Amino acid sequence: MEVSTLEYINEYQSWVSNPEEYWMEAAKQIDWVKFPTYALNSSRSPVGSWYEDGLVNTCYNAVDRHVADGMGENIAIIYDSPVTETKKKISYNELFTAVNRLASALSANGIKKGDRCIIYMPMVPEALISMLAVARIGAIHSVVFGGFAANELAVRIDDCKPKAIIAGSCGIEPGRIVEYKPLLDEAIVQASFKPEFCVIFQREECLAELRTNRDYDWFEFQEGHTSIDAVPVGGMDPVYILYTSGTTGQPKGVVRPTGGHLVSLSWGMKNHYNITKGDVFWAASDVGWVVGHSYIVYAPLIIGCTTVLFEGKPVGTPDPGTFWRVISEHNVKSLFTAPTAFRAIKREDSQGEFVKKYDLKCLESLFLAGERADPDTVLWAQKMLSVPVVDHWWQTETGSVIVGNPLGIEPLEIKVGSPSVPMPGYHIVVLDESGKDVGREELGAIAIKLPLPPGTLPTLWDAEKRFHDSYLKTFPGYYETGDAGMIDKDGYVYILARTDDVINVAGHRLSTGAMEEVLATHSDVAECAVIGVPDQLKGEIPVGFICLNSGVNREPEVIENEVVKLVRERIGPVASFKTAVVINRLPKTRSGKILRSTMVKIANSEKFKIPATIDDRAILDEIHEALGRHGYAKTKNF
Ligand code: COA
Ligand code: AMP
């Protein structure tokens, strides 16, 4: 470590010199039923098993203990929903009552420790109540983001085999109601595994039809139920499974271990985000993503904060001043969102006219993650808000920050373009293809030396081999992050690109492989490729290339529209797949490998040398022309 600041170095070194002691000390922030006798067991798996002989309950730590500490009247959740014009405050006492009632009803209906429950809900308090209630009885939740289509939900049902599904009747997107119930019904038809029952939270914007003998109304289901004790689970028992994109259409079920999750989130709130009990924290994300799990729900509640649950968009609900209104109205100390949200606001209010309308004195910091924070956006946010703008890097797999700027230990110098430095628990290296450490200032694959710290994934749900193949095989002794970048001479880490087929669209992680699998199902498509091309607002967006079967003589535009529709139907609107182009052939090397990175360079008008291995250069001209028709590849640089 060459970072020249004392407090951070001391903290990091205290982890390096005695990780066991470091994580046992951190575990004291959690109320255990049985305190673990050791932190790490590395004999079970190279990634490590944390707090395995401890007994604990997540919901108890997020709710009960604050009520027991006399904080019951404090506000746990502020629900602010410009799309329904609703605002509501829920105290810890009220949350305790609501969570107990649902947990008791779930238990009475046969849900027990280790059972899975899928939660398919919009951004309403009932989503958080559901997550906490499932955790209370030691069951495992798997939240599915509302922007996914029925097919994606079906894939997750088949993978985690939920005994129950808790869903909302609808989500509300600006200008349209997204009816969840027909998607849920369709998913259950498509899935081979059938849940025993569903609990439906009816929103007044759209009442869903309930199926006799399978669907319960949220309120009727809970009638007569009051409370149930939190069920202690082992430190390594999963609290949740969260599916994330891999390189194929089959998403990866990231498993979150209970003990490490609690410890890492409480450690991070204090040391990284500089947030303590009673503060108001706002993560403007969605409960369907890992940011939502960690920073809308669990971390703020575990340490006794007030969390803001915002159902709206940064712009258009109703204007680009919404974020500033929420901050000033609810006294938000820290905001956490994806850079895309700020790009959207900047696009509509570059001069910050809406910023001036609100008193933002309460705001002390802005945290950005989920995608690369481009310097323009960071500098604009700094100028508008006059607070530290902290980029930090993490993944669904880790559940919390890997590389960041630990404001709670000591704010470090911000280098725009870098999420700063590794957090205790993370030994980051940059490796070349042979697995050799390339040292400083050199590009390579970013890897983390094993074991991984508490809270990170110990495996993928029901897919141990895939877990090893995806993360541990390429670089023995290291976890492969899938990101490429470098470490500079001062020890700052830079995250520059993915090394796999994952793209990042508006902070949402998506698989181009999954989209290709959908395109390939179209009867006229012989071959296809999907690439992520740079986008001013969303960072990246997918563009598909399709080659048609010989003999197909329908209009290319018709087929292009059909495949766009197909991706929306099969993956969901969240894929933002709006452009497909028909071309004659895909550019390939002589050995048959599709030259995706070359296609991205053409789209981005980047200068490059035509690869010597390409089988036919004319195809690059065809791609350039096709992209040009869709507003990409403005100039030709090859
Ligand atoms: N349920 C149903 N549909 C959803 C949805 C949900 N929960 N969330 C998004 N969608 C739909 C949108 O309506 C949109 O549909 P459309 O193609 O019919 O317009 C599509 O999915 C793409 O959504 P999104 O990527 O959010 O784009 P957008 O144009 O609606 O909004 C931003 C653009 C920048 C305002 C928006 O992406 C945003 O606020 N991003 C913030 C970043 C963020 O929350 N990241 C999460 C990880 S931290
Ligand atoms: P997700 O699992 O959805 O959180 O996505 C994780 C991926 O998003 C990472 O592997 C990175 O590719 C990207 N990512 C997240 N945070 C950052 C960041 N601060 N800078 C650059 N890329 C990021």
Q: Which residue has the higher pLDDT, 611 or 569?
A: 569
Q: Whose CA is nearest to atom 19 of ligand 2?
A: 393
Ligand 1 centroid to Cα of residue 79, in Å, is 19
Please write the tens of the pLDDT for every residue from 480-518. Answer: 999 999 999 999 999 999 998 899 999 999 999 999 999
* Separation of alpha carbons 95 and 102, rounded Å: 11
Ligand nearest to the CA of 395: 2
Ligand 1 centroid to Cα of residue 324, in Å, is 19
Q: Looking at ligand 1, which atom is closest to the CA of residue 176?
A: 13
Count other C-beta atoms under 10 Å from residue 497's C-beta.
Answer: 13
**What's the CA dihedral at 267, 268, 272, 276 to 10 degrees?**
-70
Ligand 2 centroid to Cα of residue 507, in Å, is 8
At 272, the amino acid letter reads H
pLDDT band with cut points at 50, 70 and 90 for residue 2: low
351, burial (CB in 10 Å: exposed 0-12, middle 13-18, buried 19+): exposed
Mapped onto helix, strand or coil, the DSSP state of residue 35 is coil
Give the DSSP H/E element, type plus range, for residue 300.
helix 299-302
Q: Whose CA is nearest to atom 38 of ligand 1?
A: 341
Task: Tell me if 268 sits within 8 A of 243, measured CB to CB.
Answer: no
Query: Residue 352: left (phi > 0), alpha (psi -120 to 50), or beta?
Result: left
Q: Which residue has the tokens 């995608």?
A: 371
Residue 202's pLDDT is 98
Q: Give Cα 475 distance to the centre of its chain.
A: 25
Please report the DSSP string for 395-456 in residue order. -TTTSS-SEE--TTT-PPPP-TT--BEEPTT--EEEE-TTS-B--TT--EEEEEESSPPTTS
Q: Whose CA is nearest to atom 4 of ligand 2?
A: 395
Rg of the chain over all Cα atoms, to the nearest angstrom: 24
Please write the tens of the pLDDT for every residue from 516-565. Answer: 999 999 999 999 999 999 999 999 999 999 999 999 999 999 999 999 99
CB of 504 within 6 A of ligand 2: the answer is yes
At 386, the amino acid letter reads S
Q: Whose CA is nearest to atom 21 of ligand 2?
A: 372
CB of 244 within 6 A of ligand 1: the answer is no
Q: What sign does the dihedral 515-518-522-526 (CA atoms) show?
A: positive
CB of 183 within 6 A of ligand 1: the answer is no
Please write the tens of the pLDDT for every residue from 83-105. Answer: 999 999 999 999 999 999 999 99
Mapped onto helix, strand or coil, the DSSP state of residue 50 is strand
Q: Whose CA is nearest to atom 23 of ligand 2?
A: 371
Q: For every residue of 465-492, which 3-state class applies, written as one string?
A: HHHHHHHHCCCCCEEEEEEEEEECCCCC
CB of 391 within 6 A of ligand 2: the answer is yes
Query: What does pLDDT average to over the chain?
Result: 96
Tokens matching residue 629: 């028709």
Q: Sheet containing 280-283: which strands, arranged edge to edge? A: 86-91, 75-81, 306-310, 280-283, 334-337, 365-368, 389-391
Task: Tell me if 451 sits within 8 A of 48, measured CB to CB.
Answer: yes
| Stretch 588-594: mean pLDDT | 85
Q: Give Cα 236 distance to the centre of its chain.
A: 21
Residue 630's pLDDT is 86
Tokens matching residue 468: 């090893």
In the DSSP assignment, the letter for residue 522 is: S
| Stretch 60-75: mean pLDDT | 98
* Separation of alpha carbons 585 and 173, rounded Å: 38
Mapped onto helix, strand or coil, the DSSP state of residue 17 is helix
pLDDT band with cut points at 50, 70 and 90 for residue 18: very high
* Separation of alpha carbons 531 and 521, rounded Å: 18
pLDDT band with cut points at 50, 70 and 90 for residue 589: confident
pLDDT of residue 590 exceeding 90, the answer is: no
Q: Looking at ligand 2, which atom is closest to the CA of residue 291?
A: 4
Q: Whose CA is nearest to atom 5 of ligand 1?
A: 147
Share of the chain above pLDDT 70, in %: 99
pLDDT band with cut points at 50, 70 and 90 for residue 4: low
Residue of 611, 610, 609, 599 whose CA lies nearest to 545: 599
256 strand-pairing partners:
240
pLDDT of residue 1 exceeding 60, the answer is: no
Mapped onto helix, strand or coil, the DSSP state of residue 171 is strand
CB of 286 within 6 A of ligand 2: the answer is no
Residue of 574, 560, 487, 569 whose CA lies nearest to 528: 560
CB of 395 within 6 A of ligand 2: the answer is yes
Alpha carbons within 13 A on the beta-carbon side of 529: 20
Please write the tens of the pLDDT for every residue from 332-389. Answer: 999 999 999 999 999 999 999 999 999 999 999 999 999 999 999 999 999 999 999 9
Residue 47's pLDDT is 96
Q: Whose CA is nearest to atom 7 of ligand 2?
A: 395
pLDDT of residue 591 exceeding 90, the answer is: no
pLDDT of residue 9 exceeding 80, the answer is: yes
pLDDT of residue 592 exceeding 90, the answer is: no
Pairing of strands 215-217, 233-234: unpaired
Please write the tens of the pLDDT for every residue from 194-252. Answer: 999 999 999 999 999 999 999 999 999 999 999 999 999 999 999 999 999 988 889 99
Ligand 1 centroid to Cα of residue 175, in Å, is 13
Q: Which residue has the tokens 């797999």?
A: 397
* Separation of alpha carbons 343 and 252, rounded Å: 29
Q: Which residue has the tokens 């071959």?
A: 527
Residue 607's pLDDT is 85
* Separation of alpha carbons 155 and 276, rounded Å: 39
Please write the tens of the pLDDT for every residue from 428-437. Answer: 999 999 999 9
Alpha helices in 191-251 (DSSP H): 218-222
CB of 118 within 6 A of ligand 1: the answer is no
CB of 341 within 6 A of ligand 1: the answer is yes
Residue 424's pLDDT is 98
Residue of 513, 447, 431, 516 whose CA lies nearest to 482: 447
Please write the tens of the pLDDT for every residue from 167-187. Answer: 999 999 999 999 999 999 999
Tokens matching residue 435: 């697995």
Ligand 1 centroid to Cα of residue 373, in Å, is 18
* Separation of alpha carbons 546 and 108, rounded Å: 52
- What length is written for the chain? 638
Count other C-beta atoms under 10 Å from residue 110's C-beta.
Answer: 11
Query: Residue 363: left (phi > 0), alpha (psi -120 to 50), or beta?
Result: beta
Q: What is the largest CA-CA distance in the chain?
A: 74
Residue 602 has φ and ψ, to the nearest 5°, of: -65, -45
441, burial (CB in 10 Å: exposed 0-12, middle 13-18, buried 19+): exposed
Share of the chain above pLDDT 90, in %: 90
Q: Which residue has the tokens 């238990």?
A: 107
Ligand 1 centroid to Cα of residue 231, in Å, is 36
Task: Tell me if 484 sits within 8 A of 498, measured CB to CB.
Answer: yes
